[in-house]
Structure 1
C-alpha cells in the first residue's frame, strides 16, 4: 500500500472510532433510562439491564456508523487542508481522485461490517432483547411477593403471610382474581400453597390446599371456575370449599415469548427475500419488501459518504469557519428522513421500493458525485465550493453587521 494511503487511513480512523464510541454512549445512556424503568420496576437486576443494553448495541451501531464515517473523513481531510499538507500531496503529482483510494477502502470495509450488522446482528439481537424483557416482565408478580404485603399484576391481587426461603412455599394466602371476559370475580383464601413452574411457555401456577373460593358473578346464576384441579371439594351457590386447587398466577399479565419472526425486523435479509412471496401470518408482503430494501439502501449509502465528505472538508480552506460539517450533517439527516418517509410509503403500498427506498439514495449519490467532481477536476474552484462559501460568508457578514449595530447603539 502506498505511503500516502497508509497516512490518510491513519488520519481517518481515530476520529471515526472516537465519533462512533461517543455516539454509542450517548444513544445507550438515553435508552438506559427506559430500560432501568422497565427492569427495576419488575424487580430485575442490574445484570439484566446491562444484558439488554448489549442487545441494543447493534441497533445503535447501524444508526451511528454513517455519521462516524462522514466525520472521520471530514476531520482527516480538513486537517490536511488547514495545515497545507494537502498542497504538498497535490504538488507531488498525486490527484485528489487518487487520495480517494484509501478512503473508499475504508468505506468498503465498513459497508461489509454494515452487512453483518443489518443482516445478522440486528435481527437476532432484537429478538434476544424482546425475549429477555418479556421474561423479566412475566416474572414480576413472583418477584414482588413479600410477606404481609398486597401485590397486584393486572387482574390478580395476592397477599401471603409467610414465605419459605426458596420463595416456593406459602402459608395463609389471600388471592383476588377478576375475569373481565366472564364478568366475574373470585376471592380465594387458603392455608398453604406451592408455586410451580410450567414445563412449557405457560405462566407459573399455584397449588393451593385447604381453602375457600368465593365467586361473585355480575350476571345472576353465572358461575364459571378458573383453571382448577379440585380434590374433595364442596360447592354451594358460588362458594367452593376445597382441599386442593390449582390456579394460574397472573395469567393475563403473562405473555409467552414467541419464536423469532414476530415482525419483519427480526428476519435476516435472505429470509426477507425468501418470505416476500409467501409472507407469514400477520405480516404483509409490502412490509417485508420495505424492510429488506431499507437495509440494503443503508448499506449502500456508506459507499457514497466519501464523495460528500472530502469536498466539504476542502471547501473554504482559508476560513476558520467549518461550514462543511454543518452542511454534511444536515444532508445526512435529510437523507435519513427522506428514506424513512419513502419506506413508510412502501409499507402502505403507495409507491414501489425502487422509488420509495432507492430514490433518495440515487439523489444522494448524484449530488455527492457532482460535488466531488467539482472539487477534484476544476482547479480554479478548488479554493472553495461556490454556493457553500457564498452562503456561509453572507450569513457570517450579516451577523457581524448586526453585532456592530447593537454595539454602536
Structure 2
C-alpha cells in the first residue's frame, strides 16, 4: 500500500470509528431514556444492560454506519482541502479521481458489512430483544410490587398487595383492576397471588388464588361476581407497556429467506407479497448507501474551500435526511406499482451516485470547485 493510500485511509478511518462510537452511544441513550421504566427496574443488573446492548448493537450499527461514513468523508477530506494539501497533491499529478479510490474502497467494505448485518445479526437482535425485555418486565413486576403500594407501571392495570413476602415474593390480600376493556372493567380480589416467571415469551401471567372477580358491563348495566380458587391473568407484555416497548415491526425481525418465504405464502393464499418484498429490497438499498455516499461525498469534500466543520456537519445532516426522504418517496412509487420494487429501493442510491459522478467530473475538470 502506498504512502498516499495509508494517509488517506487514516484521514477517513479514524473519524469513521469516532463517529460510529458517538452515534451508537447517542442512539443507545435515546433508547435507554425511552424505555427507562423497564431498564431502570429494581431487578435489572449490569449483566442485563450488557445483554441489552448486544441485542441492540446490530440495529444501531445499521443506523450509525452510513451517516458516520458521510461525516468522515466530508470532515476528513474536507480538512485536506482547507489546508491546501489537495493543491499540493494536484501539483504532484494526483487528481481528484485518484482520491475517490480510498472512500470507495471503504464504502465497499461497509456495504458488505451492512448486508451481512441486516441479513443475520439485525433480525436476530430485534427478535431476541422483545423476549428479553418481556423477561425484564416480569422481573421488575416481581421486584417492584411493594407491600401496601399501588403498582401502575402496567398500563390499564392496577395492582395492589397488602403484604409481599420478602423470600418467595408471594402476595397476600391482592387487588387487581383491569381496565383494558373500558366498557367492561374487571376487579379481582384474592387472598394470595404471585407472578409466574416460568413461562417464556411475551406473556406476563399473574396467578391469583382464593378470590372473586367483579365485572361491570356499562353497555347493559349488568354486574357479575364470580368466585374462584385459582385464576390466571395473562398480560401481553408488548401491549401492556404501551409506548415503553416500541421496537421494530415484525418484518424487520425476519431474515431475507424468511421474507421470501412470507411473500411466497402471501401470494399463494391470495394476499399481497409486496410488503415483504419491499422490506427485503429496502434493506439492500440502505446497506448499499455507503457506496453512493462515497461517490457524492468525495467531490463535495475536496471541492470546498471554506466552511469548516460546521459546513461538514450541516451537509452531512442534510444529505442523510435527503437520502431517507428520497428513499421513502421511491419506496412508495414501488408499492404503488409505478416502478419495479428492486429498482425503486435503489433509486436513491442511483440518484446520489449520478449526482456524485457529475460533481466529480466538474471537480476533475476544474481541479477544485471555487
Give 1:334 deviation, angstroms.
0.9
SS in 1 for 2:291: coil
1:286 to 2:271 alignment: no
| Alignment TM-score, normalising by the size of structure 1 | 0.72
Give 1:289 deviation, angstroms.
1.4
Evaluate the alpha carbon distance shift between residue 214 and residue 304 of structure 1 in structure 2; reply closer, same or farther with a 3 A threshold: closer
Select the residue among 369, 375, 379 that pairs with 2:357: 369
Residue number in structure 2 paired with 1:130: 130
Q: Alignment length, in residue pairs? A: 356
Does the 8 A contact of 1:203 with 1:248 survive in 2?
Answer: no
Give 1:344 deviation, angstroms.
4.2
Give 1:367 deviation, angstroms.
0.6
Does the 8 A contact of 1:12 with 1:76 survive in 2?
Answer: yes
Evaluate the alpha carbon distance shift between residue 222 and residue 297 of structure 1 in structure 2; reply closer, same or farther with a 3 A threshold: same
Select the residue among 295, 301, 309 that pairs with 1:307: 295
Instruction: With a CA cutoff of 8 Å and minimum separation of 6, indicate the structure with the bigger relative contact order.
Output: 2
Residue number in structure 2 paired with 1:268: 255
CA distance in 2, matches of 1:180, 1:336: 39
| Alignment TM-score, normalising by the size of structure 2 | 0.79
In the TM superposition, 1:16-55 aligns within 5 A as 16-40=16-40, 43-45=42-44, 47=46, 48-49=48-49, 51-55=51-55
In the TM superposition, 1:5-16 aligns within 5 A as 5-16=5-16
Residue number in structure 1 paired with 2:115: 115
Does the 8 A contact of 1:174 with 1:189 survive in 2?
Answer: yes
- Higher mean C-alpha deviation, range 350-359 or range 295-304: 350-359
CA distance in 2, matches of 1:167, 1:79: 63
1 or 2, which has the higher helix percentage?
A: 2
1:339 to 2:339 alignment: no
Give 1:79 deviation, angstroms.
2.6
Q: Which whole-Å deviations, capped at 9, do the CAs of 1:85-119 have from their partners, x for residues lacking one?
A: 32333333333323333332212111122112222
Give 1:200 deviation, angstroms.
6.3
Give 1:137 deviation, angstroms.
3.5
CA distance in 1, matches of 2:42, 2:332: 37
> Which protein is bigger by CA-based radius of gyration?
1
Residue number in structure 2 paired with 1:206: 207
Residue number in structure 2 paired with 1:402: none
CA distance in 2, matches of 1:158, 1:178: 11
Q: CA RMSD in A?
A: 3.7
Does the 8 A contact of 1:205 with 1:246 survive in 2?
Answer: no
Q: Which whole-Å deviations, capped at 9, do the CAs of 1:17-57 have from their partners, x for residues lacking one?
A: 122222222222222211213434x6552544554344333
Where in structure 1 are there 5+ consecutive unaligned residues? Answer: 224-237, 390-409
Give 1:266 deviation, angstroms.
0.6
Q: Which whole-Å deviations, capped at 9, do the CAs of 1:185-226 have from their partners, x for residues lacking one?
A: 555343x55665555656435363xx5536566569985xxx
1:358 to 2:357 alignment: no
Does the 8 A contact of 2:138 with 2:197 survive in 1?
Answer: no
CA distance in 1, matches of 2:236, 2:318: 44
SS in 2 for 1:303: helix
SS in 1 for 2:368: coil
1:330 to 2:318 alignment: yes
